[in-house]
Amino acid sequence: MDLQTAERRVKDLQNLLNQYNYEYHFLDKPSVPDSEYDQMLRELIELEAEFPELKFEDSPTQRVGGDILEMFTKVEHRSPMLSLGNAFGEKDLRDFDRRIRQAVGDDFSYVCELKIDGLAVSLKYTDGLFVQGATRGDGTIGEDITSNLKTIRSLPLRLKDPVTIEVRGEAFMPKRSFEKLNEGRLKKDEEPFANPRNAAAGSLRQLDPKIAASRNLDVFLYGIADVGETGVQSHSDGLDLLEQLGFRTNKERRKTSDIEGVIEYVNGWVEKRANLPYDIDGIVIKVDSLEQQKSLGTTAKSPRWAVAYKFPAEEVVTTLKTIELSVGRTGVITPTAILEPVRVAGTTVQRASLHNEDLIREKDIKLGDQVVVKKAGDIIPEVVNVLTERRTGEEIEFKMPTHCPACESDLVRLEGEVALRCINPKCPAQIQEGLIHFVSRTAMNIDGLGERVVSQLFAEKLIKDVADLYKLTKEQLLGLERMGEKSVTNLLKAIENSKVNSLEKLVFGLGIRHVGAKAAKTLAQEFETMDRLMEADQEQLTAVNEIGEKMAEAVSTYFSNEEVRSLINELKTAGVNMEYKGPKPINAAQSDSVFAGKTIVLTGKLEQLTRGEAQEQIEALGGKVSGSVSKKTDLVIAGEEAGSKLAKAETLGIEVWNEARMLEELNQ
């Protein structure tokens, strides 16, 4: 590339990166995935290295952070908050290691830490008291966000020792808090945050600290700005001191003596990171000795003794090839994007949910589009947006069908619904999905009858409805592909065991519209037998607590169908239990339990009981278990890692118990 061509490309890259920097840091609304930004930045770094005369002070490669927001008081950092250089693969890590060894020899150690995807903050303590917190800003001057940082529960307002110190860390939003926040925003018709990082940044930039308090942020501390007279001689010693003072540090760090240990640590977290309760976007590797850090020094932008390994981007660009349609057990037609295979967060993605026709129209999705794909919650692939500027004119508009793709029946859109639906009760796709639901863990819980086996049985015409499951023979199953003697014996035993389930499991498994697991249990408790439930009219059904008119109508209509009544008789003949076996709820007025008449919320991880077991025992004593905290909540029982529900309860002044207190009262 000649100088003139390079100059044009450098200017283009600088303009784009400045725009993306502004969107990401100032607006908290990035328009491109991290992978594209990183690729452009790396290209600019390489061009500036090849053509030094094109490297200027205002280049994005020289920036440390974003612009300062005027709404907060400016704070000058005592020592600069530098950003880290990036490594994008094993070669970059080995190059970093080579440079370190050339400078300090072979006698040194690394500390590897998870790179939390949040907002870098600096915290000042005077005589052990928290006096000021600030964002990184441009690295030299940040924003005073003290009031908002005080709302973070894991951040100590007073240290265990009365020291004067400035420390550095990363404020972030846990995944659970992020999901809860976006659920609330969607209910209010507000735009959801794109990711936890943006949500954390937006929360800490709120002028009203109450908003930050409601979002349940967290913080990990990762360093001391100036060790001064602390006596600390290494980074790892500094982390230990932070813990002694009462700060929260990340426990997943590792100290290693060579680059092989670093690479092993990095590779381990590429796959494991999805299991963390917070987002990480890489691994930070630091030389441990502070004396060696000092000798290595820094550039204008970043320290030479540290590097940030960047994971493969969680948002990537690929081509949407076509849209596939599936039919659910209730007849809903769901569109799914079929993508050019692409790696997202460590796995290959070829399909992504599109939910319904309205979403396709809203995002202006066409066949052949270049789209940005991410994993919602690091698990479920979804199409984030379309790169309309890349369209060639050959893209094709997608139109939802007028007939069911499985049975050719007319599709309808029921009043008040966004989904198209097939209402043919004999639709084979609906029947198969209904069978898969019937055997699922939350319904009849028939172990060994997964989606693959059910599909195989249905395709071989061995089952056409749920009653046929109880007519299967050993000879029939042994004739199927990949079904050996042991697996067939275990499957038949699981089918037989399911016959003794309590009535609510069967009611839920039948897949009655609008009837979830909780409503199924309520109905089973109230009517006690299948016969009584089938004979109940709408008036009797709506008289049951928590059973509304829509659900009552659905139940009544379902059991008035002669085919359904015939199915129930077949299940009876097969020996399937038709009675409720659980405890009958005690009327609150007749119970002397502390739970009687109270609305109770369970949150966090319980050790002695499952949530289902705890709910069953509480309800048997006259209590009502709810899924959300409100002013009507009387009591919250909080297990380990309780999140936003606990925070809301404390805000509302609601009584909170731990699991031990709950068990003490249950045992009485």
pLDDT tens-digit map of 433-447: 999 999 998 899 998
Total Cβ atoms within 10 A of residue 567? 15
Q: Where are the alpha helices (H) located in 86-161, listed in sequence order?
A: 90-104, 146-149
| pLDDT at 155 (0 to 100) | 87
pLDDT, residue 644, reads: 75
- Is the pLDDT higher at 260 or at 279? 260
Give the bridge partners for 602, in sequence order: 637
371 vs 53 pLDDT, higher one: 371
For tokens 């290691």, the residue is 97
Confidence of residue 71 (pLDDT cuts 50, 70, 90): low
Per mean pLDDT, which range of 59-73, 517-531, 651-665 is the poorest?
59-73
The whole-angstrom separation of Cα 366 and Cα 164 is 59
Which amino acid, residue 435? L
Which has the closest alpha carbon to 651: 153, 218, 220? 153
Q: What is the mean pLDDT of the chain?
A: 87
Is 70 exceeded by the pLDDT of residue 21? Answer: no
On the question of pLDDT at 259 being above 90, the answer is yes
Given a cut of 50, whether residue 325 has pLDDT beyond it is yes
Q: At what angle do helices 3-21 and 34-50 cross, to 10 degrees?
A: 140
Nearest to 439 by CA among 421, 461, 457: 457
- CA atoms of 463 and 468, how far apart (whole Å): 5
pLDDT score recorded for residue 104 = 93
pLDDT at 263: 95
What contacts 347, CB < 8 A, 6 or more positions away?
none
Q: Is the pLDDT of residue 310 over 90?
A: no
Query: Has residue 98 got a pLDDT over 70?
Result: yes
When pLDDT is averaged across residues 118-127 and rounded to a whole number, the result is 92
Residue indicated by tokens 């450098």? 10
- pLDDT > 80? residue 476: yes
Model pLDDT, residue 590: 58
Residue 115 designated active-site:
yes
User: Which pLDDT does position 58 carry in this prediction?
Assistant: 60
What integer pLDDT is reported at residue 214 of this predicted model? 84
pLDDT band at 66 (very low <50, low <70, confident <90, very high): very low
Token look-up 């060790």 returns 227
Closest CA to 335 of 315, 358, 319, 318: 358
- Strand 218-224: give its sheet, edge to edge: 129-135, 119-126, 165-172, 218-224
**Catalytic residue chosen out of the listed positions 115, 180, 505, 648:** 115
Domain topology for 428-573: DNA polymerase; domain 1 (1.10.150)
SS3 content of the chain, % helix, strand, coil (to 5): 40, 20, 40
**For residues 263-284, average pLDDT:** 89
| Residues 586-645: tens digit of each pLDDT | 665 556 788 888 899 998 878 778 787 888 888 888 888 888 888 889 999 988 767 778
513-548 pLDDT, tens digit each: 889 888 999 899 899 999 999 999 999 999 887 788
In the numeric block, the tokens 């926040």 are attached to 181
Q: Which residue has the higher pLDDT, 71 or 359?
A: 359
- Percent of the chain whose predicted confidence (pLDDT) is above 70: 93
Q: How would DSSP label each residue in 106-123? A: S---EEEEEEESSEEEEE
Pairing relationship of beta strands 421-422 and 411-412 according to DSSP bridges: antiparallel
Q: Is residue 173 exposed (0-12), middle (13-18) or buried (19+ Cβ within 10 Å)?
A: buried
The per-residue pLDDT for range 539-590, each reduced to its tens digit, is 999 988 778 898 999 899 889 988 899 999 999 999 999 999 987 766 655 5
3-state secondary structure of 611: helix
Fold of 3-62: Helix Hairpins (1.10.287)
- Please identify, in words, the CATH class of the domain defined by 74-310: alpha beta
- Beta partners for residue 223, in sequence order: 168
The Cα 40–Cα 16 span in angstroms is 9
pTM over 0.75? The answer is: no
Where exactly are the structural domains of the chain? Answer: 3-62, 74-310, 315-412, 428-573, 588-667
Give the whole-angstrom CA distance, residue 667 versus residue 218. Answer: 36
Q: Which residue has the tokens 């053509």?
A: 51
Which CA distances in Å does 653 have to 409, 594, 636, 662? 55, 19, 11, 19
Q: How many CB atoms lie within 10 A of CB 422?
A: 24
Element (H, E) at 122: strand 119-126
Contact between 143 and 70 (Cβ < 8 Å): no
Half-sphere exposure of 489 (CA within 13 A, CB side): 3
Query: How confident is the model over 22-31, as a mean pLDDT?
Result: 62
pLDDT surpasses 80 at 97: yes
Q: Residue 376: what pLDDT? A: 60
**How far is residue 521 from each of residues 78, 533, 560, 565, measured CA to CA in Å?**
61, 12, 20, 20
What is the 3-class SS of 258-304, one letter each residue?
Answer: CHHHHHHHHHHHHHHHHHCCCCEEEEEEEECEHHHHHHHCECCCCEC
Q: Which residues of 576-605 are buried (b: 16+ CB within 10 A; e: fewer)?
A: bbbebeeeebbeeeebebbbbebbbbbbbe
- CATH code 2.40.50.140 for 315-412: yes
Render pLDDT for 425-474 as a digit per residue (tens, 0 to 9): 778 999 999 999 999 988 999 988 888 899 999 999 999 999 999 999 99
The CATH number, out of the four listed (3.10.20.810, 3.40.50.10190, 2.60.120.260, 3.30.70.3270), of the domain defined by the range 588-667 = 3.40.50.10190
Quote the CA–CA distance of 169 and 159 in Å, as a whole number. Answer: 16
Q: Look at residue 249 and tell me whether its pLDDT is greater than 80.
A: yes
The residue with greater pLDDT, 376 or 260, is: 260
Task: Give the model's confidence band at 132: pLDDT under 50 very low, under 70 low, under 90 confident, else very high.
Answer: very high
> pLDDT tens digits, residue range 169-210?
999 999 889 888 888 887 776 777 767 888 888 888 877 788
Q: Which residue has the tokens 């809903």?
A: 332
437 or 344, greater pLDDT: 437
User: Do residues 110 and 60 make contact, with C-beta atoms less than 8 angstroms apart?
Assistant: no
User: How far is residue 123's CA from residue 224's CA, in Å, rounded to a whole number?
Assistant: 10
Q: Per-residue pLDDT averaged across 289-303, rounded?
A: 88
Distance CA 628, CA 372 (A): 34
pLDDT at 69: 43
- 175-187 helix and 644-652 helix, angle to the nearest 10 degrees: 70
CB-based contacts of 85: which residues, under 8 Å, 6+ apart?
96, 301, 302, 306, 307, 308
